[in-house]
Amino acid sequence: MIDIEKCRITHYPASVLAEAAKPVEKIDDNIRRLAEKMTEIMLKQKGIGLAAPQAGVPLRIFIISIDGTKEKVKVYINPIITPAGEALSIEEGCLSVPGIRTRIRRYPKCTVTATDLAGNRFTEQAEGLYARALQHEYDHIQGITIVNRLGQVAKIAHRKQLKRLREEHKSVSAQGKT
């Protein structure tokens, strides 16, 4: 059982962000409440996507709303992503790695197959920002953040912000809030 009240945005280098998430075994009211809570967190943070590990829950579920509205939120449970095309390097950020925007290589197109909250399996083709968002959120359920995708130059350029995030995490962990 997921404690929905404890769900909040999780920042790098929290361990839940570095581990592959577990499959959702059963779509029930708890999972539906989790999707609602994730939507609330994403909208409050002004994001267009959020994976369960970013809410502190190690499950293979994420949401996307390309226009950032509640009405357009789509839920992806146990997704599989198949990328296509030649990878492009475009700037992106991450709600779990605040203060860092960097160029990340992603594929311009992909196919996603997932299950929705009603238990229906679906497949969609995506391109552009939608494909990029799917790949970004899929990375999260695989235990990968944009920090893992930073090149050497970007790591040096963002070293102060990364250090600050690690220090904040230590401070929060010491207070028993992780």
Q: Is the pLDDT of residue 178 over 50?
A: no
Please tell me the distance from the alpha carbon of residue 65 to that of residue 98, in angstroms, as a whole number: 19
pLDDT score at 23: 98
- Are residues 40 and 63 in contact, defined by beta-carbon separation less than 8 angstroms? no
pLDDT band at 177 (very low <50, low <70, confident <90, very high): low
**88: containing domain:** 4-174
Share above pLDDT 90 across residues of the chain, in percent, rounded to a whole number: 92
Whether 137 is catalytic? yes
Q: How many domains, in total, are found in the chain?
A: 1
pTM for the whole structure: 0.95
CA distance 5 to 40: 12
Active-site entry in 40, 71, 137, 167: 137
The CATH number assigned to the domain holding 128 equals 3.90.45.10
pLDDT at 175: 80
If you average pLDDT over residues 34-38, what whole number do you get?
A: 98
pLDDT band at 174 (very low <50, low <70, confident <90, very high): confident
Q: pLDDT tens, 73-126? A: 999 999 999 999 999 999 999 999 999 999 999 999 999 999 999 999 999 999
Residue 82 backbone dihedrals phi, psi, to 5 degrees = -120, 105
pLDDT band (50, 70, 90) for residue 173: confident
Residue 52 CB burial class (10 angstroms; 0-12, 13-18, ≥19): buried
Q: pLDDT tens, 49-75?
A: 999 999 999 999 999 999 999 999 999
